[in-house]
Amino acid sequence: NAGVMQNPRHLVRRRGQEARLRCSPMKGHSHVYWYRQLPEEGLKFMVYLQKENIIDESGMPKERFSAEFPKEGPSILRIQQVVRGDSAAYFCASRESNQPQHFGDGTRLSIL
Amino acid sequence: QKEVEQDPGPLSVPEGAIVSLNCTYSNSAFQYFMWYRQYSRKGPELLMYTYSSGNKEDGRFTAQVDKSSKYISLFIRDSQPSDSATYLCAMSVGSYGGSQGNLIFGKGTKLSVKP
């Protein structure tokens, strides 16, 4: 039973480019969360999605960041016009109803 | 004041020792409490989860929640070198299934168990 799958594991972008991070939840899970982990910081909630709906995006910056979880396919976290401060590890978690969240191994984004 | 405080360590213990890891929190609305283990360059792995106050035991791990003191603990008995990792406490206001289920994490405590 595959866990939460994130790709790519490592992503390098130059300032001003776009970054797309993908997350396939565990089989049967319809709830997806994105978190960001900055160096020496704890994980910070960004956004919570269910299929085709954004439920809570209170932790996501208003500019340049967007997320989606389409009916078919993985959830996508998109960062436009990346800046150095976007360098971090981005983790996706999924769960089924009334169960705790399970995490993927993250995407490490580096901005040159 | 941060919502969740966790001593970052590092904490170094000999193999076989009992390890005590702790977090304090300020939001009395938190009801769901979790401990995750994170190895280097990997994602958090769920170890324990509890609802409200009380104890929960699973093998060598015991989780305790004291809501009156806003204090949670994780105990590891007979610690092993393979337990060397960063341990993250996490908590949420709503249930796992609710819209308030997003997790608030501590910064993590780095544990090293020496053979």
The answer to whether residues B103 and B92 touch, using CB atoms and an 8 Å cutoff, is: yes
Percent of chain A with pLDDT over 70: 98
A35-57 pLDDT, tens digit each: 999 877 889 999 999 988 999 99
Residues A46 and A33: their CA atoms lie apart, in Å, by 7
Kindly identify which residue of chain A lies nearest to residue B86, measuring between CA atoms. Answer: A42
Residue B95's pLDDT is 64
C-beta atoms of B43 and A33 within 8 A: no
Facing B102 at nearest CB: one of A4, A45, A103: A45
Asked if residue B75 lies in contact with residue B19, where contact means CB atoms within 8 angstroms, the answer is yes
Mutate: best of B33, B45, B102, partner A, most A CBs <10 A: B102
Do A56 and B49 make contact, defined as CB atoms within 8 angstroms?
no
Chain B residue with the nearest C-alpha to that of A42: B107
> A101–B4: do the CB atoms touch at under 8 Å?
no
pLDDT beneath 70, residues of chain B: 1, 95-100
B32 near B49, Cβ under 8 Å? yes
Q: Answer for the pair B79, B113: CB distance below 8 angstroms, yes or no.
A: yes
E strand or H helix at B74: strand B71-76
- List CB contacts (< 8 A) between A99 and chain B: 96-97
Q: To the nearest whole angstrom, how far is the Cα of A80 from the nearest Cα of chain B?
A: 24
What pLDDT does residue A97 have?
Answer: 78
Per the DSSP assignment, residues forming a β-bridge with A83 are none
Q: What is the pLDDT of residues A2-38, one digit of tens each?
A: 799 999 999 999 999 999 999 999 998 989 999 999 8
CB-based contact B99 A55, cutoff 8 Å = yes
Contacting residues of B for A30, CB less than 8 Å apart:
none
Q: B94 versus A84: which is more confidently predicted?
A: A84
